[in-house]
Structure 1
Amino acid sequence: MTTTHRYRSAGLAGAGALLVSVSLTALGPVARAGPVTEPFGPGCASLPSSGEGSAAGMADDPVATAASNNPELSTLAGAVQKAGLGDTLNNAQDITVFAPTNDAFEKIPKADLDKILNDKKQLTNLLTYHVVEQDVTRSELPDGTFKTLQGGQITTSGSGDTFKVNDSASIVCGDLATENATVQLIDTVLMPKS
């Protein structure tokens, strides 16, 4: 197993934005380097082995762009675009996205999903619930509690290569690096508390 390194700009500031009380902006081009673990989990095998949607290809792009290139995340990428959150996510630094796969979105009844996708406020609320304002990798997952951009909290638990989010979603491929974020692919859409 090899350890890869990635460089990211540091900086994260909250400010009011589209329908949410928190928005992310880059503070500056200060670079930092650090070791990143290899992606883990059974779902990593379903990623393309090369190209923009592969683990290596995702590392070269900011998170919303990387998601749009990944065939496992096309529903999420479309939802991000529909909510107008692409630039916000691409300009954020050191965030973690608990990214529902296409299969996760398919678990939601079509009528319910269509209702969410056609209500920008509700969609923004849902999507920002999947984003944490810090870099969360495998070492923080065994017993974690993290504040989301939506304002709620998510919890993580587990060990080895097996982790749960909010006791309902499994991380199927974890620690995917993008230019500005860590992505944890999950098999169930997380629903914020009303």
Structure 2
Amino acid sequence: MKKELLVSGLSVLMLSALPVAAGAATQSAPTPTPSASPPGHTSSPSPGVSGKPVGPGCSALPATGKGSLGNAARERVTTAVAENPELSTLSTAIKDAGLTNKLYTAKGVTIFAPSNAAFDQLPPGTLKKLMADKPQLAKLLTYHVVEGRKSPSQLTAAPLKTMQGGQITVKGSGQDFVVSGRAKVVCGDIATKNATVYIIDKVLLPRSK
């Protein structure tokens, strides 16, 4: 009889301990944490741009790789220009003018970038002479750079002061913009890490002082 009571008592003690053990296991289980965003992910648009390019020639840009909008957004402006096959002449001119570092380190500028076809429209021999004249080449190229990252709606608000010291004007709306009455925007509002780019179909010529 005593043996049966002892066994019964032990059984009661073991059963009463089970909920406590289960509760302890529940408390020690780690709380799941929300998964982190993938490296490099951001939901914020690039500063100074509308988020969507403008111009009739944007559809001709590569969808991926060098020259694409996605690739440009990951690079500083001099690198983005160098990787765009339509801007190879401009890239060479920037190097020859000694402006690579200045534009690479610039903090928020807008560049009106003449395409290769734009440089081809210069009078015969003009480009060759410019490439051999560093001060004049730098003067010409900095005339295509304005301070601040300009969205399309900001371009037409007032004359834009250039890095060269002169002024340029932009007129238009929607998909059609004309710079200084002569150069059409082929594709613009292209974001890079430190600049906004508008590819144009003519070279802008600063007024002689």
Task: Please give the TM-score of this superposition, normalised by the length of structure 2.
Answer: 0.76
Q: Is the 8 A contact 1:97 1:182 kept in 2?
A: yes
Tell whether 2:91 aligns with 1:77: yes
Q: Is the 8 A contact 2:82 2:88 kept in 1?
A: yes
1:36 to 50, 54, 62: 50
| Equivalent runs, 1:21-60 vs 2, <5 Å | 36-60=50-74
2:101 to 61, 82, 87: 87
Tell whether 2:139 aligns with 1:125: yes
The percent identity for this pair of structures is 49
Output the aligned Cα RMSD.
1.6
Partner of 1:165: 179
Count of paired positions? 166
Distance 1:185 1:128 in 2: 15
2:162 to 141, 148, 159: 148
Tell whether 2:19 aligns with 1:5: no
Partner of 1:23: none
Q: Which whole-Å deviations, capped at 9, do the CAs of 1:104-140 have from their partners, x for residues lacking one?
A: 0010023111111110010000000000011111111
User: In structure 2, what residue type is equivalent to 1:93?
Assistant: K
| Equivalent runs, 1:101-140 vs 2, <5 Å | 101-140=115-154
Q: Is the 8 A contact 2:50 2:152 kept in 1?
A: no
Q: Is the 8 A contact 1:4 1:38 kept in 2?
A: no
Which one has a larger percent helix, Structure 1 or Structure 2? 2
Q: Is the 8 A contact 2:109 2:149 kept in 1?
A: yes
Distance 2:58 2:203 in 1: 18
Shift, 1:46, TM fit:
2.1
User: In structure 2, what residue type is equivalent to 1:108?
Assistant: L
Q: SS of 1:108's equivalent?
A: coil
Q: Which runs of 5+ in 1 are unaligned?
A: 7-32
User: In structure 2, what residue type is equivalent to 1:155?
Assistant: T
| Runs of 4+ residues deviating >4 angstroms | none
User: In structure 1, what residue type is equivalent to 2:45?
Assistant: H
Q: Which whole-Å deviations, capped at 9, do the CAs of 1:6-53 have from their partners, x for residues lacking one?
A: 2xxxxxxxxxxxxxxxxxxxxxxxxxx576321111111222111132
Task: Please give the TM-score of this superposition, normalised by the length of structure 1.
Answer: 0.81
Partner of 1:28: none
Q: Is the 8 A contact 1:173 1:185 kept in 2?
A: yes
Which one has a larger percent strand, Structure 1 or Structure 2? 1
Q: Which runs of 5+ in 2 are unaligned?
A: 1-42
Q: Mean Cα displacement is larger for which, 48-57 or 33-42?
A: 33-42
Q: Is the 8 A contact 2:57 2:187 kept in 1?
A: yes
Q: SS of 1:150's equivalent?
A: coil
Indicate how the Cα distance of structure 1 residues 170 and 42 shifts in structure 2: closer, same or farther if over 3 A, else same. Answer: same
